[in-house]
Amino acid sequence: MLRHSPKYPGGIFFCFQPNFKGTYIMNVVTRFAPSPTGHLHIGGARTAIFCWLMARHFKGQFHLRIEDTDLLRSKQEYTDSILASMRWLGLSWDGELNYQTQRMDLYRKYVQKLLDTGQAYWCTCTPEEVDAMREKAKLMGLKPRYNGHCRELGHGPAEGACVRLKCPSEGKIVFDDMVKGRISVDVSELDDMVIQRADGTPTYNMAVVVDDYEMGITHVIRGDDHVSNTPRQILIYRALGLKEPIFGHVPMILGQDGAKLSKRHGARAVIEYEKDGLLPQALVNYLVRLGWSHGDQEIFSLEELVELFDGTHLNPSAARFDVNKLQWLNAHYMRNLPVAELARLVQPFVLDCGYGEIAQERLEGLCVLFRDRAKTLVELAASFKPMLAKADELEYDEKVVAKQINDETKERLANLKPVLAGCSDFDGPSLEKTFNDFVAANGLTFKQIAPALRTALVGFMGGSHLHDIMAFLGREETLARIDRTLQF
Ligand code: GLU
Ligand code: ZN
């Protein structure tokens, strides 16, 4: 059953199917098609997230296809790494994982179909001859192109021969891009493209069309580095008598300075963000907003994204990558995670710090104390250090000591010590009361003692409430740290 979607301007049609309640839902099948020639980078991750959300929103299907036809550059380790990143991001795929190298027969079958119907032909021109044609066209002020030399020569398969698609001689290819709107390309800009190389392998455009058709893909969402391929793919669909899917080309991600995103800007692989201690939900949230909006809302749970993301409101202009905003989001998610979950997540980073094994309960205590100030799990784990060291190994920030520890503050700490030593229950609430009473009884302000006590306890101006820090350290360690400071 076909219906027109009122939502999309420009004549985009969607296929609707009745669901079990008898109402109509959109049949959406998307795919992500990485080439395993490197790890999954944030640009690819964003594309994958868009495709995944689109499928989940419409209760459709999301497929993953490994485009590994470049035998020289494709590596199994990259496929494994891409899959690991997909899982880490929570992007589950439906059905079997597809590898293009396992589908060669299928591509050949479709190429044969085009040969049989006279839409494609064998070309025996050598690369040198094709280059010469291109040069000649350039000299005449035309686009460099293959001149159709073998079109009507009726060659059969031969050593070194490739197969080319007959491009129509005139007309326009018009499509309505989900992101960029209407795109129109004059076929005079295209030439008879190679669809099967001399070695019998399909070209990218041919394989993608066959796969997208065979997999029932309704929406092809990909990076706009592929936008120039789309008119060519549409020509292949038409030659095969197939209806093309809806296309959406998302613009690239730029660095903060507007230049092409590079390592310098934080353009890295997803696994590197994982190692930096980012939470996947923060990265997903960040990347989705980088190219899509829902009013001015910044924070979205995954459920909310699935609910809201319908493939509209995709921004056609390139987004700028902002590391600070990513970290801000990460800090937000770290603050709001259940503490037991946060403790579980920070565990491997704690091990990396060399603190040794720490019991879950203690780790939770540390998370409560320090999570408000950390932007990443790496920072969080690092911030535990002063709490785990023994008083005589604690590293003090010299500048902080110079500013906070003097004869006056030492005297106050010396007076506080026996009071703390006598505090009956050494827990947060009792310590808070004991400390407040001490401050009041001595006619002090908090400013006159709290920073000095903080310096004594953790060695720098960080951490959480003083009473919580003391409760975590315990009586003995608290007193030992004050003692050490008194010797400065
Ligand atoms: N394999 C292509 C790439 O990694 C994607 C092709 C597509 O999405 O059509 O750039
Ligand atoms: Zn030729």
Of residues 261 and 253, more confidence is placed in: 253
The residues with which 162 forms a beta bridge, in sequence order, are 123
Instruction: Using the mean position of ligand 2's atoms as its centre, give its distance from the Cα of residue 162 in Å.
Output: 8
Counting atoms of ligand 1 from 1, which one is nearest the CA of 47? 8
Edge-first strand listing for the sheet containing 194-196: 120-123, 162-165, 194-196
pLDDT of residue 389: 85
Instruction: Using the mean position of ligand 1's atoms as its centre, give its distance from the Cα of residue 46 in Å.
Output: 13
**Which pLDDT band holds residue 157 (cuts at 50, 70, 90)?**
very high
Which residues are within 8 A (CB) of 73 and not within 5 positions of it... i.e. 6 or more apart? 35, 37
226 lines ligand 1 (CB under 6 A): yes
Measured distance CA(6)–CA(272) in Å, rounded: 42
Residue 430 has pLDDT above 50, yes or no: yes
pLDDT of residue 260: 81
Q: Strand 13-18 vs strand 2-4: parallel, antiparallel, or unpaired?
A: antiparallel
User: Mind listing the pLDDT tens digit for each residue in 197-243?
Assistant: 999 999 999 999 999 999 999 999 999 999 999 999 999 999 999 99
pTM of the model: 0.88
Catalytic residue among 113, 166, 263, 433: 263
Counting atoms of ligand 1 from 1, which one is nearest the CA of 208? 9
Counting atoms of ligand 1 from 1, which one is nearest the CA of 34? 4
Name the percent of the chain lying above pLDDT 90.
85
Q: Does 263 participate in catalysis according to the annotation? A: yes
Counting atoms of ligand 1 from 1, which one is nearest the CA of 37? 4
**Nearest ligand, CA 209:** 1
67 lines ligand 1 (CB under 6 A): yes
pLDDT of residue 411: 97
232 lines ligand 1 (CB under 6 A): no
**Nearest ligand, CA 148:** 2
Instruction: Using the mean position of ligand 2's atoms as its centre, give its distance from the Cα of residue 448 in Å.
Output: 88
User: Hey, which of 29, 30, 32, 35 would you mutate to test ligand 1's pocket, going by the most ligand atoms within 8 Å of its Cβ?
Assistant: 35
**Which pLDDT band holds residue 263 (cuts at 50, 70, 90)?**
low
User: Mind listing the pLDDT tens digit for each residue in 286-312?
Assistant: 999 999 999 999 999 999 999 999 999
Instruction: Using the mean position of ligand 2's atoms as its centre, give its distance from the Cα of residue 130 in Å.
Output: 8
210 lines ligand 1 (CB under 6 A): no
208 lines ligand 1 (CB under 6 A): yes
User: Hey, which of 208, 219, 246 would you mutate to test ligand 1's pocket, going by the most ligand atoms within 8 Å of its Cβ?
Assistant: 208
User: Mind listing the pLDDT tens digit for each residue in 231-246?
Assistant: 999 999 999 999 999 9
Span of 173-177, 276-280, 357-361 with lowest mean pLDDT: 357-361
pLDDT of residue 110: 98
Closest CA to 57 of 26, 24, 93: 26
177 lines ligand 1 (CB under 6 A): no
Q: Encoding tokens for residue 245?
A: 């899917």
Measured distance CA(204)–CA(196) in Å, rounded: 9
User: Mind listing the pLDDT tens digit for each residue in 440-478?
Assistant: 999 999 999 999 999 999 998 888 899 999 999 999 999
Instruction: Using the mean position of ligand 2's atoms as its centre, give its distance from the Cα of residue 424 in Å.
Output: 94
Q: How far apart are the first and last CA of the chain?
A: 82
**Nearest ligand, CA 35:** 1
CA triple 237-190-124, angle to 5 deg: 90
pLDDT of residue 15: 44
CA triple 408-411-417, angle to 5 deg: 145
Counting atoms of ligand 1 from 1, which one is nearest the CA of 229? 9
**Nearest ligand, CA 147:** 2
User: Hey, which of 222, 230, 252 would you mutate to test ligand 1's pocket, going by the most ligand atoms within 8 Å of its Cβ?
Assistant: 222
Counting atoms of ligand 1 from 1, which one is nearest the CA of 222? 8
Measured distance CA(114)–CA(150) in Å, rounded: 16
212 neighbors 67 (Cβ within 8 angstroms): no
Instruction: Using the mean position of ligand 1's atoms as its centre, give its distance from the Cα of residue 119 in Å.
Output: 25
Measured distance CA(73)–CA(318) in Å, rounded: 28
Instruction: Using the mean position of ligand 1's atoms as its centre, give its distance from the Cα of residue 33 in Å.
Output: 5
Closest CA to 69 of 245, 208, 194: 208
